Structure 1
Amino acid sequence: MTIAEPLATTPDALRPWVAEVRTMAFADPPEGTFVQLPDAGTRVVLRVTGDGRRDVLAVGPRVRAAYHVGKAHIACVELRLAPGAARPLLGVPAAGLVGRVVPLDALPDGVARRFAREVRWLDPRAALPRIAEVLPGLLSERTDPARTELLRAGVDALSVRLDRTPAQVRDVARELAVSERQLRNLFADGVGVSPKHYARIDRVRTVAARAGSTGWSELAAATGYFDQSHMTTDFRALMGVPPRSFFTGRLPATTPCQAIRQP
């Protein structure tokens, strides 16, 4: 089982807009099943395949895990956009990209297409310096600082941290002095999923990352679940199998990688 992990340091110039960078290159298929965890983030991927095909793709939030056979002769750099960065770069609400893979050239916004032109011919393994030059100039005047700050405060409050369990949606809305409806609208535009669904995905990803470090009941409590049964139910719903099955390699059947879809 192979789970993609961050393999690159995010350049300082990208940190206002990019939460995480992954670079991957496979001469041979990765061993076992290639697992894509649920992910509430929107990503931009520069991908080069062995036959020379180059794609610059917007990959929307993934609400359930996906299991694939890994591919050989592929290299890519993946930018996981920070909350609120998808709309300025891609020109569409993040909610419109959930479960989709769309070429940037097919998006209606000129900034997305310009970014695709700037990076398409780069080597994914050495693309970060040029991306760090291009992206800030495209986004600095298109971002609403106050709205972005509010959204990111909501995301932080609903995320699992080592020193605290995540807050409840109603408490986050009250703390930010917005209604729950306003908070949902913020998340739909800037994250892609509702605050409740964001928190659910974040908890399951945390369980996947921390499993084995402590007992199941302690892990359930630390990640904000009512009890171990609640954690198991949530994990099964998003991952397709319960935690014990996942961590002993009893995984769902693999499926083909998602096809590129036009808007």
Structure 2
Amino acid sequence: MLIDSQRIIIRSSIDSLCPREFYSGQCQDPLRIFEEAAVEFRPVTLTTPERFAEAAVLYRRVFGYQDPDYALNPRLLGALVSNGGSVVGVLDEQDRLVAFAYGFCGTDRRGFYHYSQSAVVDANHQGHGLGRLLKHAQREVALSHGMTRMRWTYDPFQIRNGHFNLDVLGARGRWYAPDMYGPGGDRVVIEWDLHSRPRAQEDLELKLTEADWGVMGGAGDRPWLALPAEPGAVTPDIAERVRQGFTDLLGKGLAADSCRRLPNGTGVYLFGAVSDV
């Protein structure tokens, strides 16, 4: 189990490393984010009431929650870390908590998996690869408990998150959950094989425009689904068509395995077959 890992040197953010090329798939080495740097971060398992309380404060601050109904109970975090869950954080050079994630064990017909409920990164440290540190810290915890899969959800219209989940980590979008968090709160359910490696980036020849938003296309073994690259451009009609597209494609036994930003304000998901549906 991850308790206190070594300090990791991070030179720059994903954005400053390879801004447009990273999301369009043109970056020569999109995984090159941990190199010689001036900033040190340390992934750890949180184990004390003080750290649990600090995590709860960070959680509320990042999400902007004011209603106490959305508060995160520090005692819950203590119970999770003592019973096979993950409560991991990233500390900066002053040992301040700047990122945090937690999760728990789930089960389905294939056995047990780790479910990552939430991950937050302080606004001043976003874009510096800390999300990846959190996911790999949770991976270590899951593997230490004998689990080889991890799941979590994200908003399908957050192209940056989609690219990180599918292309950088190598996870797959397996299921679609309409209105998971109320009307308009659709989510893609991700599954990550913890022993897998990210897939090689393929060259895209797609020339999609605003007219293609919400449209499915492509060959039978490599279909795509286009959508706006910016969430603010999503209309109710587009949201409904994207929902239907995901539902249809995932229902055919496919999985979303790549999410790319095209140069003209369009995003695209690529789908491929999976063998364990």
State the TM-score, normalized to the length of structure 1. 0.26
Structure number with greater CO (CA < 8 Å, separation at least 6) is 1
TM-score by length of 2: 0.25
